[in-house]
Chains A and B, each alone.
Chain A
Amino acid sequence: MDQDLELMLGVRRGDRGSFGQLLGRHRGPVVSYVYRLVRDAALAEDLAQEVFLRVYQARHRWKPDARFTTWLYRIATNLALNAVRDSRRTALPAASADGEGEDEAARLADPKPIADAQMIASERERTIRQAVEALPEKQRAAVLLHKYQDVDYHQIARVLGVSESAVKSLLFRAYETLRARLEPLMREGNL
């Protein structure tokens, strides 16, 4: 039996230990996934907490007709995308999750060029993040699930509520767009 399935059946029976184990297995990936969607570490943690709260509260209604991770990422995706849409509606300033704004201010304050590997890596990461964020909502979610969460396309289809062939097209279009945007980084990597 799938380990997640076994643990979730335990949670449904009221076994707190099973819930703790599920949390241990999926806490990190869920926080990372939500963070990549919302770009705010504090918000990502709050939303990830809400994901696990909903899992626990819905334990009596859960049915083992799909993989646990499908259900988990469906909740996470819905919460994260809702938060992103809400933040756009209220036009909040873009959150600085990793201090990128502070880095920018420090760089401007210090005129000396800093040829720091860490700074370059941070710059590359920012470019990658911006390229992924520029993708349409479903393409972005599909790429994040496929590339960073190792979710297979059958599950991605169920998480996003689309067909499997639609997932394949979403992924290809997303990667083609990313390839065009990140070509400079790919060329740098070849130097």
Chain B
Amino acid sequence: MNPQTNCLGREKIFRCLHHLLEPAEEAAVSRHLSQCAECRRIGESFLQLDAVLGEWKGIEPSPEFDARLRQALAARRPTSLLGMFFAMPTNRALAAALAVALLVAGTLMIRHFRSQSGPNTAGQAPGQQVLTAKTGPSPAVETPGQGNLSAEEELKIYENLPVLENYDLLANFDVLSELPQESGKVDN
């Protein structure tokens, strides 16, 4: 407001005419406008501008608008059951959560089975004599097709170099695993 003329500022007049003031303030400004010719002239110029702006006409939608919209809606609608299932946001979230759960479960299962499997005993030639480690002073020796052996036969086997050369097999014996490792031998 101009203190010399007691007139309102242009913005206050604008806000009053466009209902941008609180009701009480709008009422006070309206009263002033009814009494002040200068402020009323400013207000009328804003109303005139409003009328000029109103000369700019919009456009009407074409007659095919609704038909085109229906076609567009049909084109975007999922056609398969799977598509319809995943169209719903809750189902998408559920599917994502299930996928994550399966991934985690699968990873845990793989780790579990890997830890369960023993050290690698592969590499034994077929037909090769197998020494099984057992607790006790005299490990039983089994050869394919034969039963338990006598002490002499057992000794012969111990003297059998091919068996003794199978370090992978020998490393599984508790007794031998406690022996210090010599350089050059296969270390399992």
Q: Which of B54-89 contact A (CB under 8 A)?
A: 54-62, 65-66, 68-69, 72-73, 76, 88-89
- Chain A's closest residue to B61 (CB) is A31
Please provide the chain A residues from 1 to 43 with a CB less than 8 Å away from any CB of chain B in the complex.
23, 27-29, 31-33, 35-36, 41
B-side interface residues, number (CB < 8 Å): 33
A60 and B59 in contact, given A171-B20, A185-B52, A189-B52 (Cβ under 8 angstroms): no
Contact between B59 and A189 (Cβ–Cβ < 8 Å)? no
A152 to B21, CA, bound (A): 12
Judge whether B41 is part of the interface by a CB distance below 8 angstroms. no
Cβ–Cβ contact A153 & B20, under 8 A: yes
Q: Evaluate contact between B59 and A31: CB separation under 8 angstroms.
A: yes
Q: Which residues of A contact B20 (CB under 8 A)?
A: 153, 168, 171
Closest CB in chain A relative to B17 CB, distance in Å: 10
**B14 on interface, CB distance cutoff 8 Å:** yes
Out of A49, A178, A179, A182, name the residue touching B68 (CB < 8 Å).
A49
Q: In the assembled complex, which residues on chain B have CB atoms less than 8 Å from the CB atom of A182?
A: 49, 52-53
Which A residues are CB-close (under 8 A) to B10?
172, 176
- Tell me if B52 and A125 are in contact (CB < 8 A): no
Q: Map CB proximity to A onto B142-154 as digits: 1 under 8 Å, 0 otherwise.
A: 0000000000000
What mask results when residues 1 to 19 of chain B are scored 1 for a CB within 8 Å of chain A, else 0?
0000000001100110011
Central interface residue in B19, B49, B60, by most chain A CB within 10 Å? B49
Q: Write the nearest CB–CB distance from A93 to chain B, whole angstroms.
A: 20
Interchain CB contact under 8 A, B14 and A27: no
Q: Are B56 and A128 in contact (CB under 8 A)?
A: yes
Q: Nearest chain A CB to B46's CB is how many angstroms away?
A: 7
Name the residue on B nearest A185 (C-beta): B52
A residues engaging B (CB < 8 A)? 23, 27-29, 31-33, 35-36, 41, 44-45, 48-49, 52-53, 56-57, 60-61, 97, 121, 124-125, 128-129, 132, 143, 146-148, 152-153, 168, 171-172, 175-176, 178-179, 182, 185-186, 189-190
Interface pairs (13), CB distance under 8 Å: A23-B69, A28-B58, A32-B60, A36-B56, A48-B65, A49-B65, A125-B56, A125-B57, A171-B14, A176-B10, A178-B53, A186-B45, A189-B48
Residues of B within 8 A of A (CB): 10-11, 14-15, 18-20, 45-46, 48-62, 65-66, 68-69, 72-73, 76, 88-89
